[in-house]
Structure 1
Amino acid sequence: MPLDEDGAIKEQTKWGKISIILTLAIPAMLENILQTIVGFVDTLFVAKIGLEEVTAVGVANTVIAVYIAVFMAVGVGASSLIARSIGAGDIEQAKSIAKQSTLLTSLIGLFFGVVSIFLAEPFLLIMGADEKVLVDGLLYFRIVAVPSIFISLMFIFGSILRASGDTKTPLKVSWWINIIHLGLDYVLIFGVGDWEGLGVAGAAWATVLVRIMGSWMLYHYIKKSIVSFSLRKGTLNMIKSVMLSVIKLSIPAAIERLIMRIGQVLYFGLIVHIGTETFAAHTIAGNIETFSYMPGYGLAIAATTLVGQSIGAGKLKDAYQYGILTTVIGIFFMSMIGVILFVFSPYFATWFTSDKNAIDMVVTALRIDAFAQPALAVGLILAGALQGVGDTKSPMYSTAFGMWVIRVLGVYLFGIVLGYGIAGIWISIALDLLIRAIYLYVRWITYFKISTDKHYTKIRDNYFQN
């Protein structure tokens, strides 16, 4: 956000605010899109083998998503502490936090790897995988999940670089590893020449290899940055401070993400119960729909930053306007995406399968989701804006109610009891998004309903306490 000669935030016109929002949001959108392509390419290529293989990879990745939720949460805590230290001019403290955060995520990654060795089958059985799905699911899950340390390192190294002010490097690394992943995926899945390839195992090994490469590349750039640190010196004596600093800031984000991921495990299990082909179609639709989240995620990051800075500067009106403007921009972008999903869903579905029944189910899912895009935009962006004013509980409550009540009960009622199948599943998702959007909008309006000094003090105190 631009500052004047005295270091205060400059006043901006409405169009100036929009320009600032887009400047912050667009790089985040691009990086999120590139990261999403890794999983998208896996599903696209595996779908060429068969629908049961798609289900196997989808089930395995749902469990791995729980691991990723924890790594992302640690990244949130680390980013906050590193940025604060750099802002205070304490580069040595920033380096120390970067190293501590890397140690913490490495330990968590190793722990998840060991857990994956012994509990892989129970995890997938909880998801409702049948015997045919279980064989390929276990193969994929063990290859990808046992070396979870590389998943953790990718997330923490990216967070460290972004917190130090370098947003271009994670984007550049994402670009290169996706190109490499595309080639590896094809060769390892389908083979080359007389070699027939490894099938589902090839998709797993391609993912692991690019994560190892990505971790190395990001650490290489960290060594050249202002927060450069060595992984080999003085790590054991840092464990205590890690627990007191990074973990404390990571807990709220971790709870929200775990609520979401565990809720996904429950309602995905119900979908598997409906049928393997239905779950495969749901997985395909979900992978296509994932790209619609990217504008929302990028704008949510911008909302958190701009609203938080405005609150910290005592500019309540600017904070409110940034939240509303960012949401309006998000509704516009994601409504356009909704139109694209509705019109081109039959074409998108054929990328993954030639099975007519599966294509029909994917089209049904995406066309229902097309009407939910504006609500999705409101929910994602206002969750970020509320975090900017220090309200981390409202997004957590909305996620808990939406995932555990609306989606789980909705899938059971509409999908199983009433027999609506894929339509019932995505109607439940749309209802969840709508109710979340309404709740978060009401919470946002409540924060700014009374613009008094007392009200500002409450918001400001909430912001700095969080």
Structure 2
Amino acid sequence: MPEPIPLSDTTSREKIKIILTLGIPAMIENFLQTIVGFVDTLFVAKLGLNEVAAVGVSNTIIAIYIAIFMALSVGTSSLIAKSVGAGDLHKAKAIAKQSTILAAAVGLLFGLISLVLAEPLLRLMGAEPKVLADGVVYFRIVAVPSILISLMTIFGSILRAAGDTKTPMKVGIWINLIHVALDYVLIFGLFGVGGWGIAGAAYATVIVRLIGAAALYLYIYKSKLSFSFKTKVAGEYTLPLLRLSGPAAAERLIMRLGQVLYFGLIIRLGTDVYAAHTIAGNIEIFSYMPGFGLAVAATTLVGQQLGAGRKHDAYRYGLFSAAVAVVFMSFVGVLLFIFSPLAASWFTSQTDVIRMVTTALRIDAFAQPFLALGLVITGALQGAGDTKSPMYSTAIGMWLIRVVGVYVLSIQLGMGIAGIWLSIAFDLVIRAVFLLWRFWHMFQFMDKSNRR
């Protein structure tokens, strides 16, 4: 486990090197997860469209679970990073233990809900009768052991908050490779032994999550943050964890509900427009990788430096992380602008859909620097303990800008897919400006408090 990073005497070049050392492994981990998701879908697609739909509707619900687990990890990351920065390993261990117990409890609760309400939940998501039977099989196998998802999420956050982003990356590489191999064997069979179809895909997912959770805990157990379940639970950290994680959970739920609403508006524009929007979104997801990775670095570095009492360094690391992300994602924007027609042609041969996807991605290309700022400054704010500002920005951006923008520009003014992605771009710009102002204002307030 790395020691707290001494940043007070580092040059700008050294700061950037430290940011990249933490951020690049997280980028690689996210990239691999996205690639494996595509491979998983490809294998299931060989079974038939009903199976694809069953996995898709099940994963829509599981994505909500994961959003809650990730929200819990926000509080963990902030509190552990500050404790490690302050050199208080005893407190960091206590928070890690309390976070694990809390995550396990929430995972068990969601597992129980999945067991009892699998069919009603899938019906609520609009699963058709032909899809429902396969959906229930897949969903129950994957979602009942939700504790594995929650533990993997929280263990990864504990390691990253202490400055170790390489271990989650290494574990991610191995379990993703195992996942691809297990997927093929358990879905299709091997050496004359038949596979289990969609149930095989579900079992492959559960097995790699079990391996991942065990491997990450083993690394924690061997580190300086090792904790024992035999000792008394440090319950005094439950409320601080929930206080930080609550707004983060609300932010993710606001985002999901807003997506459901504006996806409904997009469907009204026609199947071709909805298909083009979906394809553009699948391509655009790869542009998020630098931002996600550098947001992890920002959370860790800002939290550790505030814990060590180095507020100026915390502020500079937040800005440096954002600047590096802007450079990375501006380059991605150039690639999106140039190669969007080629990327669209991988998904469809319909000329009108390729044209719409190209329009969407070329608008998005200009929004990439603002997307970078929003992602990384959100991570920096969360590292500093401010989880409310990202929640406010998501609520305003999703409900007042995206939803209203799609309705006005795309439906009322007839701008089609251009209106959709202009609305998204406006949201990203306004959100980035607001979050950057909040980050600046937070540290201005800290300075004024110190002078009193």
TM-score, normalised with respect to structure 1 = 0.80
Shift in Å, 1:334:
0.7
Report the RMSD for the aligned CA atoms in angstroms: 3.8
Is the 8 Å Cα contact of residues 248 and 388 (structure 2) preserved in structure 1? no
Q: Which residue of 1 aligns with 2:181?
A: 183
Is the 8 Å Cα contact of residues 66 and 262 (structure 1) preserved in structure 2? no
How is 1:360-379 mapped onto 2 (pairs within 5 angstroms)? 362-379=357-374
Shift in Å, 1:447:
5.3
Is the 8 Å Cα contact of residues 128 and 273 (structure 1) preserved in structure 2? no
Q: Which residue of 2 aligns with 1:62?
A: 60
Shift in Å, 1:155:
0.7
The reply to whether residue 259 of structure 1 matches residue 254 of structure 2 is: yes
Greater shift in the superposed pair: 68-77 or 133-142: 133-142
Letter in 1 for 2:371: L
Q: Which runs of 5+ in 2 are unaligned?
A: none
The reply to whether residue 220 of structure 1 matches residue 218 of structure 2 is: yes
Q: 1:39 to 1:433 in 2, by over 3 A?
A: same
Q: Which residue of 2 aligns with 1:10?
A: 9
Greater shift in the superposed pair: 277-286 or 390-399: 277-286
Letter in 2 for 1:107: A
Q: 1:338 aligns with which of 333, 337, 342?
A: 333
Secondary structure at the aligned position of 2:380 is classed as helix
The reply to whether residue 401 of structure 1 matches residue 399 of structure 2 is: no
Q: Which residue of 1 aligns with 2:112?
A: 114
Q: Which residue of 2 aligns with 1:75?
A: 73
Secondary structure at the aligned position of 1:9 is classed as coil
d(CA) in 2 for partners of 1:355, 1:183: 33
Cα shift readout 1:411-439 (whole Å, capped 9, x = no counterpart)? 44555666666554433322321221232
Q: 1:197 to 1:288 in 2, by over 3 A?
A: farther
Letter in 1 for 2:403: V
Shift in Å, 1:297:
1.8
Letter in 2 for 1:214: G
How is 1:285-304 mapped onto 2 (pairs within 5 angstroms)? 285-304=280-299
Letter in 1 for 2:391: M
Letter in 2 for 1:178: N
Q: 1:191 to 1:369 in 2, by over 3 A?
A: farther
d(CA) in 1 for partners of 2:449, 2:390: 19
d(CA) in 1 for partners of 2:55, 2:191: 26
d(CA) in 2 for partners of 1:148, 1:409: 35
Shift in Å, 1:68:
1.1
d(CA) in 2 for partners of 1:460, 1:302: 29
How is 1:7-406 mapped onto 2 (pairs within 5 angstroms)? 9-10=8-9, 12=11, 14-47=12-45, 54-86=52-84, 91=89, 93-131=91-129, 134=132, 136-192=134-190, 197-230=195-228, 233=230, 238=233, 240-241=235-236, 243-271=238-266, 282-307=277-302, 321-349=316-344, 362-388=357-383, 390-406=385-401
Q: Which residue of 2 aligns with 1:464?
A: none
Letter in 2 for 1:9: S
Letter in 2 for 1:247: L
d(CA) in 2 for partners of 1:190, 1:351: 25
Is the 8 Å Cα contact of residues 81 and 300 (structure 2) preserved in structure 1? no
Is the 8 Å Cα contact of residues 77 and 299 (structure 2) preserved in structure 1? no
Q: 1:401 to 1:127 in 2, by over 3 A?
A: farther
Secondary structure at the aligned position of 1:244 is classed as helix
d(CA) in 2 for partners of 1:121, 1:425: 33
Aligned length: 449
Secondary structure at the aligned position of 1:371 is classed as helix
Cα shift readout 1:312-333 (whole Å, capped 9, x = no counterpart)? 6776765554444333322221
d(CA) in 2 for partners of 1:19, 1:143: 43
Q: 2:447 aligns with which of 452, 456, 462?
A: 456
Cα shift readout 1:100-123 (whole Å, capped 9, x = no counterpart)? 322221111111112123434444
Is the 8 Å Cα contact of residues 330 and 381 (structure 1) preserved in structure 2? yes
Shift in Å, 1:65:
1.8
Cα shift readout 1:177-199 (whole Å, capped 9, x = no counterpart)? 11111222234445556667555
d(CA) in 1 for partners of 2:112, 2:267: 26
Secondary structure at the aligned position of 1:372 is classed as helix
Q: Which residue of 1 aligns with 2:435?
A: 440
Q: Which runs of 5+ in 1 are unaligned?
A: 462-466
Letter in 2 for 1:372: A
Q: 1:389 to 1:230 in 2, by over 3 A?
A: closer
Shift in Å, 1:138:
4.2
